[in-house]
Amino acid sequence: MKKIVFLDRDGTINVEKSYLHRWEDFEFEKNVIDGLKAIKELGYEFIVVTNQSGIARGYYTEEDLIKLNASMVKELNNHGIDILECYYCPHHIEKGIGIYKKECECRKPNPGMLKDAIKKYDIDIDSSFMIGDKGSDLEAGENAGVQSILVKTGYGNKIVDKYEGKYPVAEDLLEVAKIIKKLI
């Protein structure tokens, strides 16, 4: 069975910038490469799960997002880090336009993206983790039955008071690796 670390994207892998959609604007958060390498050494594979309501809002297209994610995956590959798959939710119940305006199972905190991955890959949920910088990430993990960890990058620093004690808290992905090592 696969041990998976589910990763939020914005604010967790890359610096949070509102509705990021161009590779030129993409910047890795601190210690992401070293952190992911350390997590990989613990026997983990990676799946990205990201809410992208900018698509629903018409700020950018699914093609833009797929291109950006492909550039990110390629850059990580260059550092020896593989991403099994990038899942995204393009919907928004209120702000969505056309087909994207809907209530869905995939928008975190709903666990749809994680559950799809768990169905598709042979994933050991008891050994897997969800890492993110928002409450919706932590809850999505919990709703899918995996342990969640809050990173203080992105929005994480602003919500740490609310979630400390309920979930492990890490400065960045390098500290996430240390926490996972302790928990497994």
Give the active site residues: 8, 10
Mask for 58-97, x = binds Zn ion (CB under 5 A)? -------------------------------x-x------
Enumerate residues 6+ apart whose C-beta is below 8 A from 48.
6, 7, 8, 9, 13, 69, 83, 85, 86, 87
The single residue listed with the structure tokens 């409450």 is 135
Of 124, 36, 114, 122, the closest CA to residue 82 belongs to 36
Residue 133 lies near Mg ion (rule: CB under 5 A): yes
Residue 139 lies near Mg ion (rule: CB under 5 A): no
- Considering only residues 6-65, where is the footprint of Mg ion by CB under 5 A? 8, 10-11
Residue 172 lies near Mg ion (rule: CB under 5 A): no
Per CB under 5 A, residues contacting Mg ion are 8, 10-11, 133, 154
Per CB under 5 A, residues contacting Zn ion are 89, 91, 104, 106-107
